[in-house]
Structure 1
Amino acid sequence: MEQAAQLLRLARVRAAVNSGEARQLREAAHLSIGEVARACGVDQSTVWRWERGARKPRGNGALAYGELIDSLRSRLRPAVEFQRSLGLLPENSETPGAATPEASGERINKSTAK
């Protein structure tokens, strides 16, 4: 991937993390932090910190995370928009199917993940 494309992907993933969209998409896909971390080649505490704003996504792991987020967005957002267009969801509702941290398999010891 050329450098400009990498920078654009990093900017997109950082915006998705800062807005909470990345976490919403992961939860809507019923993916745990551990599953995402393994797929991106990073520790699960890294993804946990990214999604909570404690760390800025960087490096190859962040690029892989960005690719995953882009893929989830393209697959999940059309369904959400379709449901909103039918009046099944309010305009400002969160992504349907988003699980609670416990239900999505997040088992991070928050005292050690700081």
Structure 2
Amino acid sequence: MAQAAQLLRLSWIRAAVTSGEARRLREASHLSISEVAAACGVDQSTVWRWEKGVRRPRGPGALAYAALIESLPKPLANTTATDSQQHPENSNAVVAVTTTAPSEPTNQTT
């Protein structure tokens, strides 16, 4: 049973690395590659290779990496801090409402 869980976890982390989700979660949590590597017991170049798609995560380090990434908080929205930097018009939600008088008066009967 434990082996099946490990295989599922490896499969999940490989998919998360391939899609870029693992890196996004790490960066959203403000963790550096070296911090993640130290927590997982692997060299920082190993984490870098995993996240760049050069190597597939495997072994005990990959299982530790999967557990760490799974434990990180998931962002609530698909926006990042850089969204407001790249699109300043979205950083402050200001709504302007303009009303105009109708060109012809309307007859309202109550």
What is the TM-score normalised by the length of structure 1?
0.67
Identity %: 68
| Structure number with larger C-alpha Rg | 2
The 5 A counterparts of 1:5-16 are 5-16=5-16
Per-residue deviation at 1:76? 2.4
Structure 1 match to 2:58:
58
- Figure out how many residues of one structure are paired with residues of the other and give that number: 82
Q: Per chain length, whose mean CA-contact separation is higher, i.e. which structure has more relative contact order (CA < 8 Å, sep 6+)?
A: 1
What per-residue deviation string (whole Å, max 9, x for no partner) do you get for residues 13-72 of structure 1? Answer: 000000000000000000000000000000000000000000000000000000011111
Structure 1 match to 2:74:
76
1:29 corresponds to which letter in structure 2? S
Q: Which runs of 5+ in 1 are unaligned?
A: 82-92, 99-114
| RMSD (CA atoms) | 1.6
1:24 corresponds to which letter in structure 2? R
What is the TM-score normalised by the length of structure 2?
0.70
Q: Structure 1 residue runs of 4+, over 4 Å off?
A: none
